Amino acid sequence: MIFTVAIDGPAAAGKGTISRAVAERFGFAHLDTGLLYRAVGAIGGDPALAARALAPADLARDDLRSLAAGQAASRVAVIPEVRAALVDFQRRFARQPGGAVLDGRDIGTVICPEAEVKLYVTASAETRAHRRWLEVGGDAGQVLAEVKERDARDMSRAEAPLKPAAGALVIDTTAMTADQAVEAACAAVAAALRAHR
Ligand code: DC
Protein backbone atom coordinates (compact mmCIF):
# COMPACT_ATOMS: atom_id res chain seq x y z
CA MET A 1 0.00 0.00 0.00
CA ILE A 2 1.27 3.46 -0.95
CA PHE A 3 -0.20 5.99 1.49
CA THR A 4 1.38 9.31 2.45
CA VAL A 5 0.48 11.64 5.31
CA ALA A 6 1.94 15.11 4.64
CA ILE A 7 2.12 17.35 7.71
CA ASP A 8 3.23 20.95 7.31
CA GLY A 9 3.21 23.97 9.57
CA PRO A 10 5.37 26.51 11.40
CA ALA A 11 7.92 25.74 14.13
CA ALA A 12 6.63 24.31 17.42
CA ALA A 13 3.01 23.97 16.26
CA GLY A 14 2.91 20.30 17.27
CA LYS A 15 3.90 18.65 13.96
CA GLY A 16 6.48 16.40 15.58
CA THR A 17 4.17 15.09 18.31
CA ILE A 18 1.37 14.49 15.81
CA SER A 19 3.63 12.88 13.21
CA ARG A 20 5.20 10.44 15.65
CA ALA A 21 1.79 9.49 17.07
CA VAL A 22 0.22 8.98 13.62
CA ALA A 23 3.20 6.88 12.47
CA GLU A 24 3.00 4.72 15.58
CA ARG A 25 -0.79 4.30 15.51
CA PHE A 26 -0.95 3.26 11.84
CA GLY A 27 2.45 1.53 11.55
CA PHE A 28 3.83 4.04 9.02
CA ALA A 29 7.47 5.12 8.59
CA HIS A 30 8.18 8.68 9.78
CA LEU A 31 10.58 11.34 8.47
CA ASP A 32 11.11 14.66 10.25
CA THR A 33 12.28 16.61 7.18
CA GLY A 34 13.41 19.56 9.30
CA LEU A 35 16.32 17.35 10.38
CA LEU A 36 17.62 17.33 6.79
CA TYR A 37 17.85 21.14 6.75
CA ARG A 38 19.17 21.26 10.32
CA ALA A 39 21.96 18.82 9.36
CA VAL A 40 22.87 20.84 6.25
CA GLY A 41 23.05 24.01 8.37
CA ALA A 42 25.12 22.30 11.08
CA ILE A 43 27.65 20.77 8.67
CA GLY A 44 28.68 24.24 7.48
CA GLY A 45 30.77 25.06 4.41
CA ASP A 46 28.93 25.15 1.08
CA PRO A 47 25.29 24.26 1.90
CA ALA A 48 24.54 22.85 -1.57
CA LEU A 49 27.53 20.49 -1.35
CA ALA A 50 26.51 19.47 2.16
CA ALA A 51 22.96 18.72 0.98
CA ARG A 52 24.18 16.60 -1.94
CA ALA A 53 26.50 14.59 0.32
CA LEU A 54 24.07 14.21 3.23
CA ALA A 55 24.36 10.79 4.93
CA PRO A 56 22.19 9.06 7.58
CA ALA A 57 24.87 9.64 10.25
CA ASP A 58 24.49 13.41 9.75
CA LEU A 59 20.87 13.17 10.93
CA ALA A 60 21.97 11.53 14.17
CA ARG A 61 24.13 14.49 15.31
CA ASP A 62 23.18 15.57 18.82
CA ASP A 63 23.40 19.32 18.10
CA LEU A 64 20.45 19.55 15.70
CA ARG A 65 17.69 20.46 18.18
CA SER A 66 18.95 23.84 19.41
CA LEU A 67 17.44 27.23 18.52
CA ALA A 68 20.67 28.08 16.69
CA ALA A 69 20.41 24.92 14.58
CA GLY A 70 16.81 25.87 13.72
CA GLN A 71 17.89 29.32 12.57
CA ALA A 72 20.77 27.88 10.53
CA ALA A 73 18.35 25.39 8.95
CA SER A 74 15.89 28.13 8.03
CA ARG A 75 18.71 30.11 6.38
CA VAL A 76 20.04 27.24 4.22
CA ALA A 77 16.43 26.23 3.39
CA VAL A 78 15.99 29.34 1.19
CA ILE A 79 18.72 28.10 -1.21
CA PRO A 80 17.12 26.41 -4.27
CA GLU A 81 20.11 24.05 -4.81
CA VAL A 82 19.80 22.80 -1.22
CA ARG A 83 16.08 22.09 -1.61
CA ALA A 84 16.59 20.42 -5.00
CA ALA A 85 19.23 18.07 -3.58
CA LEU A 86 16.81 16.81 -0.92
CA VAL A 87 13.71 16.28 -3.09
CA ASP A 88 14.31 12.75 -4.43
CA PHE A 89 15.10 11.25 -1.05
CA GLN A 90 11.94 12.74 0.45
CA ARG A 91 9.75 11.62 -2.50
CA ARG A 92 11.07 8.05 -2.32
CA PHE A 93 10.46 8.04 1.43
CA ALA A 94 6.89 9.36 0.94
CA ARG A 95 5.92 6.70 -1.62
CA GLN A 96 7.61 3.68 0.02
CA PRO A 97 5.32 0.65 0.45
CA GLY A 98 3.60 0.41 3.81
CA GLY A 99 2.77 4.08 4.34
CA ALA A 100 4.77 7.13 5.43
CA VAL A 101 4.35 10.30 7.46
CA LEU A 102 6.55 13.28 6.60
CA ASP A 103 6.50 16.55 8.47
CA GLY A 104 8.01 19.83 7.33
CA ARG A 105 7.11 23.00 5.47
CA ASP A 106 6.55 21.93 1.85
CA ILE A 107 5.50 18.29 2.01
CA GLY A 108 1.91 18.78 0.79
CA THR A 109 2.76 21.64 -1.56
CA VAL A 110 5.97 20.46 -3.28
CA ILE A 111 7.31 17.08 -2.14
CA CYS A 112 4.10 15.07 -2.26
CA PRO A 113 1.05 17.04 -3.47
CA GLU A 114 -0.58 13.65 -4.23
CA ALA A 115 -0.45 12.67 -0.51
CA GLU A 116 -3.57 10.83 0.62
CA VAL A 117 -3.77 13.06 3.74
CA LYS A 118 -2.53 16.65 3.98
CA LEU A 119 -2.55 18.42 7.32
CA TYR A 120 -1.52 21.99 8.14
CA VAL A 121 -0.76 22.16 11.85
CA THR A 122 -0.52 25.65 13.30
CA ALA A 123 -0.90 27.69 16.51
CA SER A 124 -0.44 31.31 17.54
CA ALA A 125 3.18 32.55 17.59
CA GLU A 126 2.90 33.23 21.33
CA THR A 127 1.72 29.69 22.08
CA ARG A 128 4.43 28.15 19.93
CA ALA A 129 7.13 30.33 21.48
CA HIS A 130 5.95 29.35 24.97
CA ARG A 131 6.15 25.64 24.08
CA ARG A 132 9.63 26.09 22.61
CA TRP A 133 10.69 28.08 25.72
CA LEU A 134 9.51 25.22 27.98
CA GLU A 135 11.88 22.95 26.02
CA VAL A 136 14.92 25.17 25.67
CA GLY A 137 14.57 27.79 28.43
CA GLY A 138 16.46 31.08 28.16
CA ASP A 139 14.93 34.47 27.52
CA ALA A 140 11.21 34.14 26.65
CA GLY A 141 11.15 37.38 24.64
CA GLN A 142 14.07 36.23 22.54
CA VAL A 143 12.46 32.83 21.90
CA LEU A 144 9.31 34.62 20.64
CA ALA A 145 11.40 36.92 18.43
CA GLU A 146 13.22 33.91 16.94
CA VAL A 147 9.94 32.06 16.28
CA LYS A 148 8.58 35.12 14.46
CA GLU A 149 11.81 35.60 12.52
CA ARG A 150 11.79 31.97 11.38
CA ASP A 151 8.07 32.16 10.43
CA ALA A 152 8.73 35.25 8.33
CA ARG A 153 11.69 33.65 6.52
CA ASP A 154 9.94 30.28 5.97
CA MET A 155 6.73 31.92 4.69
CA SER A 156 8.21 34.61 2.47
CA ARG A 157 10.97 32.73 0.65
CA ALA A 158 10.59 32.36 -3.12
CA GLU A 159 11.26 28.63 -3.17
CA ALA A 160 8.62 26.33 -1.57
CA PRO A 161 7.32 28.85 0.99
CA LEU A 162 5.37 27.58 3.99
CA LYS A 163 1.62 27.71 3.28
CA PRO A 164 -1.30 25.28 3.56
CA ALA A 165 -1.43 22.85 0.63
CA ALA A 166 -4.57 22.75 -1.52
CA GLY A 167 -7.04 20.48 0.23
CA ALA A 168 -5.13 20.45 3.53
CA LEU A 169 -7.05 20.05 6.77
CA VAL A 170 -5.97 22.89 9.09
CA ILE A 171 -5.49 21.88 12.74
CA ASP A 172 -5.01 24.91 14.99
CA THR A 173 -3.50 23.55 18.21
CA THR A 174 -3.48 26.88 20.11
CA ALA A 175 -6.26 25.79 22.49
CA MET A 176 -5.76 22.02 22.17
CA THR A 177 -3.94 19.52 24.35
CA ALA A 178 -1.42 17.31 22.59
CA ASP A 179 -3.87 14.39 22.90
CA GLN A 180 -6.67 16.38 21.25
CA ALA A 181 -4.40 17.38 18.37
CA VAL A 182 -3.25 13.78 17.89
CA GLU A 183 -6.84 12.53 17.88
CA ALA A 184 -7.90 15.14 15.29
CA ALA A 185 -5.04 14.06 13.02
CA CYS A 186 -5.66 10.33 13.54
CA ALA A 187 -9.36 10.76 12.74
CA ALA A 188 -8.46 12.36 9.40
CA VAL A 189 -5.97 9.58 8.61
CA ALA A 190 -8.44 6.83 9.58
CA ALA A 191 -11.14 8.33 7.34
CA ALA A 192 -8.73 8.58 4.38
CA LEU A 193 -7.53 5.01 4.94
CA ARG A 194 -11.13 3.73 4.85
CA ALA A 195 -11.69 5.57 1.58
CA HIS A 196 -8.37 4.26 0.18
CA ARG A 197 -8.98 0.55 0.83
O1 DC B 1 10.74 21.74 11.47
P2 DC B 1 12.08 22.35 11.94
O3 DC B 1 11.93 23.44 12.95
O4 DC B 1 13.04 21.29 12.37
O5 DC B 1 12.71 23.02 10.60
C6 DC B 1 13.88 23.77 10.62
C7 DC B 1 13.94 24.69 9.41
O8 DC B 1 14.13 23.90 8.23
C9 DC B 1 12.69 25.49 9.15
O10 DC B 1 12.73 26.75 9.81
C11 DC B 1 12.65 25.63 7.66
C12 DC B 1 13.39 24.43 7.15
N13 DC B 1 12.53 23.39 6.58
C14 DC B 1 12.09 23.56 5.30
O15 DC B 1 12.38 24.58 4.68
N16 DC B 1 11.36 22.59 4.68
C17 DC B 1 11.01 21.47 5.35
N18 DC B 1 10.29 20.52 4.73
C19 DC B 1 11.41 21.31 6.70
C20 DC B 1 12.17 22.29 7.29
Measured between alpha carbons, how far is 84 from 8 in angstroms, rounded to an integer?
A: 18
150 pocket-lining for ligand 1 (C-beta < 6 Å): yes
Measured between alpha carbons, how far is 12 from 17 in angstroms, rounded to an integer?
A: 10
Which pTM value belongs to this model? 0.96
Q: Report how many domains make up the chain.
A: 1
Burial 106-143 (b: 16+ CB within 10 A, else e): bbbbbbbeebbbbbbbbbebebbbbbbbeeeeeeeeeb
> What pLDDT, on a 0 to 100 scale, did the predictor assign at position 67?
87
37 pocket-lining for ligand 1 (C-beta < 6 Å): yes
Give me the CATH number covering residue 174.
3.40.50.300
- For residue 126, give its domain range: 4-196
132 pocket-lining for ligand 1 (C-beta < 6 Å): no
Whether residue 25 contacts residue 186, with contact meaning beta carbons closer than 8 Å, is answered with: yes
Pocket test for ligand 1, best of 4, 33, 101, 148 (most atoms within 8 A of CB): 33
Distance 70 CA to ligand 1 centre (A): 7
> What pLDDT, on a 0 to 100 scale, did the predictor assign at position 197?
78
Measured between alpha carbons, how far is 119 from 16 in angstroms, rounded to an integer?
A: 12
Measured between alpha carbons, how far is 91 from 76 in angstroms, rounded to an integer?
A: 20
> What pLDDT, on a 0 to 100 scale, did the predictor assign at position 175?
96
pLDDT mean by block of 10 residues, the chain; 197 residues: 97 96 98 98 97 95 92 95 97 98 98 98 98 93 95 94 97 97 98 93
106 pocket-lining for ligand 1 (C-beta < 6 Å): yes
